[in-house]
Amino acid sequence: MTVALRPEQGSDAPLLRQLFAESRQAELNALPDAQSRELFLSMQFEAQRRHLEGMHPHAERWIIEPDIGRMVLAETADGLHIVDLAVVSTEQGRGHGSSMLRALIDRADAAALPITLNVQHANHRARALYERHGFAVDSHPPATATASHLALRWDPRKKAHSA
């Protein structure tokens, strides 16, 4: 499976909001009513947007077509960093994430660059996907790693092209 990418645009806000909401479903479900959920979602979505733009102003921002996901990729002094990779829930498990990772691994391998990312500890499905593609727990996580996320790394020297 090959995925098509296009640059993210302002008109993609509804898709980005959907992806964000799906990633925060447990928190949304804990709120007492629709108004509280909408307020929380609006505030947190905007906070995430500002944070990503502040931390990674020059990152590549892509929409996975046909409007089923997004990828934010930052090139750092240490290699490539997957800031965000998300696929809408109805399209998960259909190979889109694997296709994206294979393309990134090919790019990183050709340039001899490692790939890093942070995945939520509780997101076992995403972690399993990354591990199938040769990502492992980073033995020297960056200072930006947090208690809620696990730092993973793919190293081009390992030539791990599984899955």
Kindly report the length of the chain.
163
Residues forming a β-bridge with 154? 115
CA 147/CA 154 separation, integer angstroms: 21
CA 82/CA 39 separation, integer angstroms: 28
pLDDT in tens, the chain (163 residues): 677 999 999 999 999 999 999 988 888 889 999 999 999 999 999 999 999 999 999 999 999 999 999 999 999 988 999 999 999 999 999 999 999 999 999 999 999 999 999 998 888 999 999 999 999 998 776 666 667 889 999 998 775 444 4
| Cα distance between the two ends of the chain | 12
What would the pLDDT profile of 103-117 be if each residue is shown by its tens digit?
Answer: 999 999 999 999 999
What is the value of pTM for the model shown?
Answer: 0.87
Locus of tokens 């960056």: 142
The answer to whether the beta carbons of residues 20 and 38 sit under 8 Å apart is no
